Amino acid sequence: MLLPENTKCECGHQNAVGTVLCETCGKPIVQEIIDSNEPLEMRYDGVARRSQKANPDILDKIWNFFSSVKIAIYLIIATFVGAMFGTIFPQASTFINNFDSSVYYEETYGTVGKIYYMLGLHNTYNSWWFITLLVMIGTSLVICSIDRVLPLYRALNKQQIRKHHSFLTRQKVTYSTVIEGNAEQWVQNYGQALKKKGYKVHIDGTALLAEKNRFSRWGPYINHIGLILVLLALLARGIPGWNVDAYVKVADGDTVPVSGTNYYVKSEGFKMEFYDNAELPESLQNTGRVKNFETLAVLYECETNCNDDFEKPQLTEVLRHTILINDPLRYEDLKLHQFDYDLTPRINAVSPMIINKETGESFGPFYLPMVDPELNYEVGPYKIQLIDKYMDFSINGEGKPVTLSREPNAPAFIFNIQGPNLKESGEVFMYFPLQKDKVRFSQNTINRELTDKLDIKVDGMENVSFSEATTYLNIRIDKAVKFLWIGAIISMIGLLLGTYWQHRRIWLRIDEDTLTLGAHTTKNWYGMRADTSYALGKVGIELDAKSLDNGGNKG
């Protein structure tokens, strides 16, 4: 079909190689099509596409490959079949911490799991072949569109009104009859009837072209532009700083830096609410169904001393927001999402008294925060010096004290205390603020005879400060997301134009007293036939719309 051939039509128009129907009069010029009796293939009005070139070179061949709709469909099929594999077992990316995929799949799913892992399907959507498929679809979208939209634009922009007979009789909707009276008047009347149906009518003596909703032809291309933008937005997330995804843990009352940014976030409290039984149906009674949880958050911008270990950062409040699951904190590109919570209380500070057990006198209280406590205290006659502290006290295998973490789960303080009836240089006292730790680690045994001389203890709960809960926030910056929305909107507009409207055209010519009519639409032939027969009815030709069908109730 791509052999050098005579592409000059009998109407005198010189067509490009690859043209199927003459660009001017619509007469078929490919021998194969001339010989057949099937309705004409009207795709892109039969004009040559960019890819239909004689003697293609290597670049042309690549272009031709991607310009094929058949290839595009195969790519789509390959993509969704590939995507299916990724849903068989959970993807590795859904596990957040301490996950070893090399053993997980085999342990959980046996041999099948091992094969799944070895094929790399545990990471389907980030695999080279899946990304390649997406890139190929993107390429196909670009090339298919360019290959077709320009020729189509040319074809639709300069349409000839009087078409060749064989063009008209080989449309999927066609009609021929002998009319009486003035041919030009008949054409005018028919045109009037079509105008009422919203057609733009062009008349050339005894020939007519009526056209409606041409814009819908651009729908698929607009849609594809939108999809290309969506794919580009996905790729753009790879640009450094465009896609931040981190987690931050904030206990009630704490202010912590938002990693990767210049912001700090404070939680003024995490709150959780449950449904009352009165609000719940029978089957959910006493199930503790959560009604709401929220973090009262304050966002600060750091002015100076940011992330400095020694100096306090200078913060300016920029925003207060109650973060709900469906209502994140948003400030410029930054978003803080409610991710998780922990209702274990955390001790922040105690204000204990120091008691002289021999006299029964007590002094204080003195303020002892878990974070950055003072090193020296003077309480009554006592001088207290902080020697060491353990936030998560434990004894290791060698019998030595260690801290398991920086979280104040089991805080312990070691003081050197000078005062009445104590050695001049002071004596060492170990203090566990939490009663459970005091018992567990036997504070009294550790402190030996000093236990009888003095004690440090908190007098009442009002002298202990707790964070009741800890909230976990997801820090997100996704700068590409706005391009994604723009792409989605463009794509949607194109999709609507292309599917909810159809480009309909009716051509006719009268030679002597013989009327020949052909009509074409991109879809909805039912409506096309209805329009054609409606207008025929208006000029006095009543017929069943279905009889216009030339074996082409298609598309």
Partner 1 sequence: MNLLDFSSSIFIVAFFLYCFAFIFYCIAVSGKKWSNRDPKEHEARWSNIAFITSTSGLIAHIIFFTTRWIGGGQAPVSNMYEFITFLGMAIMVAYTIIHFMYRKPLLGMFALPLTIIIVAYASVFPQEVQPLIPALQSIWLKIHVTMAATGEAFFAVGFAAGLMYLLRVVDFSDTSKKGRKAQRWVEFTLISILVICGFIVASFGFKGAGYIAQFEQENVSVSALGEVTTKVETVEYTMPPIFKPYNSTAQYVEPFLGMKEALLETPSWFDGVNAGRKLNTVVWSIIVGLLMYAIIRLIIRKPLGALIHPMLDGIDPDDLDEISYRAIAIGFPIFTLGGLIFAMIWAEIAWGRFWAWDPKEVWALITWLFYSAYLHFRLSRGWHGKPSAWLAVIGFVIVLFTLVGVNLLISGMHSYAGVN
Question: Binding residues for partner 1, per CB under 8 A?
Answer: 41, 43, 69-70, 72-73, 76-77, 79-80, 83-84, 86-87, 89-91, 93, 97-98, 108-110, 112-113, 125, 245, 275, 279-284, 289-293, 324-328, 335, 337, 474, 476, 478, 481, 484-485, 488, 491-492, 495-496, 499-500, 522-526, 546, 549, 553-555
- Residue 491 CB, shortest distance to partner 1, in Å, is 8
Q: What angle do CA 474, 480, 481 make, to 5 degrees?
A: 65
Strand partners, 299: 265, 319
Taking a C-beta distance cutoff of 8 angstroms, is the pair 322, 295 a contact? Answer: yes
Q: Output DSSP code: residue 312.
A: P
Q: Is the dihedral of CA 430, 431, 432, 438 positive or negative?
A: positive
- Residue 514 CB, shortest distance to partner 1, in Å, is 28
Tokens representing residue 97 in the block: 């911490």
Q: Which CB sits closer to partner 1, 475 or 508?
A: 475
Q: Which CB sits closer to partner 1, 59 or 96?
A: 96
Distance CA 387, CA 70 (A): 77
- Residue 427 CB, shortest distance to partner 1, in Å, is 38
- Residue 474 CB, shortest distance to partner 1, in Å, is 5
Tokens representing residue 182 in the block: 């003035």
- Residue 31 CB, shortest distance to partner 1, in Å, is 21
Which residues are CB-neighbours of 524 under 8 A, at least 6 positions away?
A: 502
- Residue 83 CB, shortest distance to partner 1, in Å, is 5
Q: Which CB sits closer to partner 1, 212 or 337?
A: 337
Q: Which CB sits closer to partner 1, 281 or 460?
A: 281
Which residues are CB-neighbours of 209 under 8 A, at least 6 positions away?
A: 159, 161, 201, 202, 203, 505, 506, 507
Distance CA 378, CA 362 (A): 13
- Residue 332 CB, shortest distance to partner 1, in Å, is 15
Q: Which CB sits closer to partner 1, 371 or 489?
A: 489
Q: Which CB sits closer to partner 1, 16 or 78?
A: 78
Q: Which CB sits closer to partner 1, 109 or 534?
A: 109
- Residue 17 CB, shortest distance to partner 1, in Å, is 21
Taking a C-beta distance cutoff of 8 angstroms, is the pair 151, 47 a contact? Answer: yes
Q: Which CB sits closer to partner 1, 516 or 521?
A: 521
Provide φ and ψ at 90, rounded to 5°: -60, 140
Q: Exposed, middle or buried: residue 318 (CB in 10 Å: 0-12, 13-18, 19+)?
A: middle
